[in-house]
Structure 1
Amino acid sequence: MSDGKASTTVRTRIREAAAQLTASERKIANAILADYPFTGLESIQELAAKTGVSAPSITRFVSKIGCGGFHDLQRHLIAELKEGRRSPLDLKSTQRPVGQTEFLPEYIARVSSVLQEMTATVSLAQFDILAALLADSSRNIYLLGGRISDNVASFLSIHLRQIRSGIYHMADNPEFWPEHVLRMRKKDVVVLFDFRRYQPSLSRLAETIAEKQGAMIVVVTDKWMSPAARSADHIIALPIDAGTAWDTVAAAIVLAEALIVRVSEADWEATQKRIGDWDGVRFSLPGYDQNKIDGDTNET
């Protein structure tokens, strides 16, 4: 790929070139995207046999998506895999230092840029589909994240529980997962949050759910793609790079907050009743000060 395209993933380049592809080239594109990036790392002969397309057609396809050849395509796919495994120590070596005298304003500017990028990477259609799935009271919703990203899953689940029933934040201990997996129905939805330095256990969980239960899987990840995305029905790729040693979860939190508001307003009458009933039980439990409940202090 040219220098101007170096930071663009192969997945994005394929989608951008979709309108220019021939029928044979679309077969290649679909095969690579279906098991991304691993199919693209097979030999050109294996890819030709898998798609029923000739090696010269693969070479033309590779050229259309901006690569200098099949080996160049694989070099970029390998680079994406490495990028997805970078730790804060790795990122520190390439970070753009934040100004020390005005650290907070500059950092806020960087996060604002990440959020602006989010408007281009998450389509309205993707958001609407996910919001509709979460608002569908006939579906049970299961949420889980990785070592750090589970905080986002927990945040979303806490609010969704107050809006509707059937919300389950899965325990981080895999020993408890079978109970949830065995309860899942095909119409249910599993939302997994997994960002780079991906959690291998989430990939295995997603694969198990897809094979045994068939529940719908949504993976919220980054542009380098969690391995769990291989089993996903829907993928939302969020920007996370703020140019520091630590990736930002700002886009993930904003997505969660937007979903909370959207789902709550899908049927506000039902939401209002649910919150009222919820608080009625919550405030009757030990540990709540009646004066606070009566309005001296707002509780959230």
Structure 2
Amino acid sequence: MTSPAQPTVRQLIRNHHAELTLSERKFANALLEDYPGAGLASITAAAANAGVSTPTVARMVQKLGFKGYPQFHQALLAELQAKVSGPEARRAAWASEAPDSHLLNRFADAVTQNLRQTFSNVDTAQFDAAAKRLAATEGRLYVVGGRITRSLAEYAFTHFQAIRARVTHLTSSPATWPHYVLDMAEGDTLLIFDIRRYEENLERLARIASERGVTVILVTDQWASPVAATAEHTFNCWVEIPSAWDSSIAILSLVEALIAAAQEERWPDARDRFERLDALFELTRLFQRS
């Protein structure tokens, strides 16, 4: 299984993209369009399917840091296995290789690695573009999460609602989503949270929304939800920890960075909105006075 500090093949392609020749990029793009399936075939079949030569594929995988195609193939298989693994399999993977140090130390090391890996692989231009979309009130912002990520969606919704107007939090029940989609229009934005095991309902929602002209922003794990095929902006967060469950710490940190960027994008309008919100809190006496 991929370790928290080890980049995926998808990320390696992104990191080395500038070094690739045109033919190598052709294979890389074919792989990304059908990821990881296009790389699970034999080297001959993979090359033929992408319309390039076998030596081209061999050179590309070496540029990514693999000794040869078999190692590249195994890396993709490991990613595929990691995508579909449940809590028991995840625990078995780290427990069998656990060092003697206390769980707290191993947990802290894993979380630190996750944060470092996540933020080092964020494309700043994509981050800025996504922040502008999240801040733009010309269209409505919709936020949705899955079974595990709905708490992250609610957290994002609460903050974006304070920063800007026209924000909607979709309920966790897919049966209600058509009511929201009915009002979606070109220029709107849909922020989706989806980590393994990925939810087919979210993939369908993203596809339907995109067909209506809605910009989809995806926050996912290092293996990438299938929603990435539809999303205009995708942010991969590293999530593995010494646990049967994945960590949301890197995801939450990225979300807070997006919230901060959107806030700055809307300042001073956001400041005025905060002041009016505080006045309403005072009227409702929701908070105690200090």
TMscore range, shorter length: 0.7 to 0.9
Query: What are structure 1's unaligned runs of at least 5 residues?
Result: none
Question: Is the Cα–Cα contact under 8 Å of residues 107 and 242 in structure 2 kept in the other structure?
Answer: no
Distance 1:41 1:214 in 2: 33
How many angstroms does 1:249 deviate by?
0.6
Distance 1:51 1:190 in 2: 32
Pairs within 5 Å for 1:138-217? 138-210=138-210, 212-217=211-216
Question: Is the Cα–Cα contact under 8 Å of residues 17 and 65 in structure 1 kept in the other structure?
Answer: yes
**Which range moves more in the overlay, 156-165 or 39-48?**
39-48
Is residue 29 from structure 1 mapped to residue 41 from structure 2 by the alignment?
no
Distance 1:270 1:19 in 2: 40
Tell me: CA distance 1:94–1:139, structure 2 relative to 1, closer, same or farther (3 Å): same
Q: Any idea what SS the aligned residue of 1:186 has?
A: coil
Report the equivalent of 1:118: 118
RMSD, aligned α-carbons: 2.9
Residue-by-residue CA offset, 1:271-300 (whole Å, 9 max, x unaligned): 12223333444554xxx44xx76xx535xx
Distance 1:261 1:208 in 2: 29
Tell me: CA distance 1:269–1:107, structure 2 relative to 1, closer, same or farther (3 Å): same
Tell me: CA distance 1:185–1:223, structure 2 relative to 1, closer, same or farther (3 Å): same
Q: Write out the 4+ residue segments of structure 1 that deviate beyond 6 Å after TM superposition.
A: none
Distance 1:182 1:41 in 2: 39
TM-score normalised by L of structure 2? 0.85
Equivalenced residues, count: 285
Q: Any idea what SS the aligned residue of 1:94 has?
A: helix
**Which range moves more in the overlay, 233-242 or 58-67?**
58-67
Distance 1:98 1:193 in 2: 35
Query: What are structure 2's unaligned runs of at least 5 residues?
Result: none
How many angstroms does 1:99 deviate by?
5.1
TM-score normalised by L of structure 1? 0.82
Distance 2:239 2:245 in 1: 9
Report the equivalent of 1:65: 64
Q: Which amino acid aligns with 1:37?
A: P
Q: Which amino acid aligns with 1:153?
A: A
Amino-acid identity (%)? 35
Tell me: CA distance 1:273–1:84, structure 2 relative to 1, closer, same or farther (3 Å): same
Residue-by-residue CA offset, 1:142-190 (whole Å, 9 max, x unaligned): 1111111111111010111111111111111112212222322232211
User: Which structure has the larger Rg?
Assistant: 1
Q: Any idea what SS the aligned residue of 1:142 has?
A: strand
